[in-house]
Amino acid sequence: MAVGIFDSGLGGLTVLDAVAERLPDLPLVYLGDSAHAPYGVRDADDIYDLTTAAVQRLWDEGCDLVILACNTASAAALRRMQESWIPTDKRVLGVFVPLIEALTERQWGDNSPPREVAVKHVALFATPATVSSRAFQRELAFRAIGVDVEAQACGGVVDAIEDGDMILADALVRSHVDALKRKMPKPEAAILGCTHYPLMQDIFQSALGDGVSVYSQASLVAESLADYLDRHPNMRGSGERSCFLTTGDPWQVSNRATQFLRRKIEFEAA
């Protein structure tokens, strides 16, 4: 009954923690492609190839349902995977839709036509690949009209977080927020469009100001997964063990993950 969670590195651990808290009896298999991180500077074909290989590995582990806890993979690869690659007995879900539905105050699964929403000016902070894909804007257009989105590519932030250099990450976040505010001086809401960014949520909030609502993904994705499994219990895979897999060096990744989550994490080779 295991569910797979995939990220290019360690950021998806924020999603895993939220899912484990919401669904404590659900076995979870986490796969981080640390050997090829970060994805945010790769082209779409490269991201697609790496993502499909990772998802196949999670299927092999008995996870019929996989969450792409990586905004870059969700933006650059998911639609192509759904159209031509995923078999009918498997599911791969992204992390954009729960966030957009929360922003637009729509119930999960609400497929009614797009409508006016209260928030009109939205800042999107994401990796360069996610920004260039315009996937967030495309998904938002399915659900809301009249919303102005200003995207800021946050180069370097993921690398700094993965390296454990939070002083550099802090400085980069503040620089990217300043750049965004030069383009959109008064955003009403901000989307943290990378699963690494919840670790910097207080910095984003401080730089943006108290009047801006900051949305991050972990808890929203966990709640959406719980709802999905209630409606589709057959998608609980055959896997029975929880584990952490990495394409990188397990010892090094385990040390970084332990610092990342502030609890002992042990990865094994994928």
- The tens digit of pLDDT for each residue in 145-194 reads 999 999 999 999 988 988 889 999 999 999 999 999 999 999 999 999 98
194 is a catalytic site residue: yes
Phi/psi at 196 (nearest 5 deg)?
-75, -30
Angle between helices 96-103 and 218-231 (to 10 degrees): 100
Q: 58 with 6: CB under 8 angstroms? A: yes
Under CATH, what is the fold of the domain 102-215? Answer: Rossmann fold (3.40.50)
Sign of the CA dihedral 122, 211, 153, 124? negative
pTM across the whole model: 0.87
Q: From the options 3.40.50.1860, 3.40.50.300, 3.30.930.10, 2.170.190.11, give the CATH code of 3-96+218-269.
A: 3.40.50.1860
Closest to 5 measured CA to CA, from 55, 40, 47 = 55
Catalytic residue among 63, 70, 154, 243: 70
Range in 47-56, 120-129, 214-223, 241-250 the model is least confident about: 214-223
d(CA 235, CA 83): 19
Q: Is the pLDDT of residue 64 over 90?
A: yes
Q: What integer is the mean pLDDT of 3-22?
A: 95
What value, to the nearest 5°, has the Cα angle with vertex 158 and ends 155 and 159?
90
Catalytic residue among 63, 154, 194, 243: 194
Intervals of CATH 3.40.50.1860 along the chain: 3-96+218-269, 102-215
